[in-house]
Structure 1
Amino acid sequence: MINYYYDNTDDLKPYTHQLEANDDTMPPDNALRIAPEFKDGFCPCEQDGKWVLVEDNREKTAFNIETKDAVKIDYLGELKAGFTLFEPFEFCKWNGKKWVKDKVAENNATIEQNQIMKNSLINQANEKIAVLQDIIDLDMQESNEEEQLKQWKKYRILLTRIDVSDTNISFPTKPE
């Protein structure tokens, strides 16, 4: 005969271990003489003198459906409300059943990247124009630096006219 023990300090009373039992004794308060069923993804737990299978996701990673934060599961039972085992991906949102592409978030990120790129290119143009303007103002130009200045100013104007909310921007080519 075998005693099948469960953790009676846990609300779900999960199976813990088994030991040989004496035939002429009763099982302890935290043991049953009925062998538990084992099934992948579940843990046998005692309930009203019987073994029941309870969902077991311990050591898996769950994701918060609002924040997308990952947490290690350390409890028995169904996932807590607001969590899923499905891993989120970039620019997604939870639709109640699964992660779906969030076009608004993707477009906002693209617009933000476009603005960063536009600002960076304008700053580069401003630096180049400032140096070329100094060269010309001090009458220190060589070969085609006046033409270069004109090309860089045109380039800067083209940059300032770019609409960053257009997700298919084509930035102008830098002058040489």
Structure 2
Amino acid sequence: MINYYYDNTNDLKPFTHQLDANDDTLPPDNALRISPTFKEGYCPCEQDGKWILIEDNREKTVYNIETKEAVKIDYIGPITNGFTSLEPFEFCKWNGEKWVLDEEQKNDFNIKQHQINIADLLSEANNEIHILNDKIELEIATDDDKKLLKKWKLYRIQLKSIDTNKLDIELPVKP
């Protein structure tokens, strides 16, 4: 005979282990003498003197549908509301059933990237203009330097005239 033990401190009373039993004794309060059935993805649990199979997702990764945070499951039973096993992707939102592309989030990101890129290009243009102005002020500028200064100034004006709130922008050619 075998005692099949379960954790009676857990509400679901999941199977824990088995041990040989004495033929002339009754099973302890936290054991059955009926062998549990095992099935992939399920955990046998005691209920009313029988084993039932409960969904078991322990050690699987799920994602919070609000924050997209990944969490390892440490409980028996179905996936808790507010979580999904579907992995989120960049610029997505939960539509109640699955992750879908969030166009607004993607567009906002692209606009911010345009603004950062243009700010970097403006900084580069300002540096070049300052250096060329220094050369002119010190009277060491060549004719090519003077022509290049005009090109950098025009480039800077073209950069400043770009509407960074648009998704499709065209950058001017750098001198």
SS in 1 for 2:116: helix
TM alignment of 1:16-165, pairs within 5 A: 16-165=16-165
**Separation of aligned partners in 2, 1:169 and 1:6:** 65
SS in 2 for 1:144: helix
**Separation of aligned partners in 1, 2:21 and 2:124:** 82
TM-score computed with the length of structure 1 as normaliser: 0.95
SS in 1 for 2:22: coil
SS in 1 for 2:52: strand
- Aligned-residue offset at 1:133: 1.3
**Separation of aligned partners in 2, 1:136 and 1:115:** 31
- Aligned-residue offset at 1:131: 1.1
**Separation of aligned partners in 1, 2:168 and 2:42:** 49
Alignment coverage as a number of residue pairs:
175
Consecutive unaligned residues of structure 2, counting only runs of 5 or more, are none
**Separation of aligned partners in 2, 1:12 and 1:119:** 59
Q: Percent identity?
A: 61
SS in 1 for 2:129: helix
Consecutive unaligned residues of structure 1, counting only runs of 5 or more, are none
Amino acid corresponding to residue 119 of structure 1 in structure 2: A
Amino acid corresponding to residue 125 of structure 2 in structure 1: A
**Separation of aligned partners in 2, 1:163 and 1:54:** 57
**Separation of aligned partners in 2, 1:24 and 1:94:** 58
TM-score computed with the length of structure 2 as normaliser: 0.96
